[in-house]
Amino acid sequence: MENNKNIGLVRAASQALMKKPDDFEMVVSPYSDIYETADAFIVKLDMPGSTKESLSITVDSRQLIVRSAMQEHKQEHGKTLYSEIWKKKYFREFNLGTGIQIAKIDAQFESGVLTVTLPKSDEVKPREIHIQ
């Protein structure tokens, strides 16, 4: 049993100096949370490594489309021996219902989290009916 643990450590150690291909790029779907308030739907997307300038948010045919590219980490001094932080692109689509005011969609980006606010149209907002 002790022998198996040592073999695993040797394999891990021998792979530790592997170099990733320079042209490898992965597309990932960012994790998201969706909230509903009385006035809007709020979508939060976790996009670490992105910048405000690299983000693209569009609405096309009732779909919210979010794209971004993670900025590549550049080592200014020395030589990279091992890296698990791979350059990646983010892509996510959300279908929008008819109750969204598309012209009033708002977005904010802070600390690697994109927050998109989708205001509800008056037709779908909850209303209180006054009794006379």
pLDDT digits over 95-109, tens only? Answer: 998 889 999 999 999
**pLDDT for position 2:** 45
- Per residue of the chain (132 residues), give pLDDT as tens: 444 433 333 334 444 444 444 555 688 999 999 999 999 999 999 999 899 999 999 998 889 999 998 866 677 788 877 777 777 899 999 999 888 999 999 999 999 999 999 999 888 878 888 898
Residue 17: helix, strand or coil by DSSP? Answer: coil
Pick from 41, 64, 58, 46: nearest CA to 110: 46
**pLDDT for position 15:** 47
**pLDDT for position 79:** 81
Distance CA 53, CA 109 (A): 10
Architecture of domain 27-74+81-126: Sandwich (2.60)
Residue 27: helix, strand or coil by DSSP? Answer: strand
End-to-end C-alpha distance for the chain, whole angstroms: 80
Residue type at position 103 = A
**pLDDT for position 19:** 47
**pLDDT for position 60:** 87
pTM above 0.75, yes or no: no
Please state the domain extents for the chain.
27-74+81-126
